[in-house]
Amino acid sequence: MTGAETWHFNPQLFRLQDEPELNLSFLNEDKAGEKGFIELSEDGNSFVLGNGETVHFWAVSTTVQQNTPRHLEDQARFLAQRGVN
């Protein structure tokens, strides 16, 4: 896609000591899997956590594995601040 169908996404990176304007990390579990295994809902149209809570997914694609450990840390924090666990 090009032109009017897209837009540039160039957010500022935040370090550990910075507090971003948007921080959704509170949505993430403290420990992955603490709410149980992910299963198909009873109606088969969505996914639920082990406690029955509906869970949503979105894809994240990146090439950070080609970068430095510091860049990997920045990318993980960036994604966590946007609610990606």
Q: What's the pLDDT score for residue 67?
A: 81
DSSP state of 70: H
CB atoms within 10 A of CB 79: 17
Q: Is residue 3 part of a domain?
A: no
Q: Is residue 27 part of a domain?
A: yes
- What global pTM score does this model have? 0.50
16-55 pLDDT, tens digit per residue, is 556 767 778 887 888 878 889 999 999 999 999 999 999 8
Q: What's the pLDDT score for residue 12?
A: 65
Q: How sure is the predictor about 66, in pLDDT bands with cuts at 50, 70 and 90?
A: confident
Contact 61, 9 (CB under 8 A): no
The parent domain of residue 75 ranges over 17-81
Q: Is residue 5 part of a domain?
A: no
Region 57-82: what's the mean pLDDT?
Answer: 79
Q: How many domains does the chain have?
A: 1
Q: Is residue 7 part of a domain?
A: no
Choose among 76, 82, 84, 83: nearest CA to 16: 76
Q: What's the pLDDT score for residue 61?
A: 73
Q: Is residue 9 part of a domain?
A: no
Region 2-13: what's the mean pLDDT?
Answer: 68
Q: Is residue 51 part of a domain?
A: yes
Q: Is residue 6 part of a domain?
A: no
Q: Is residue 64 part of a domain?
A: yes
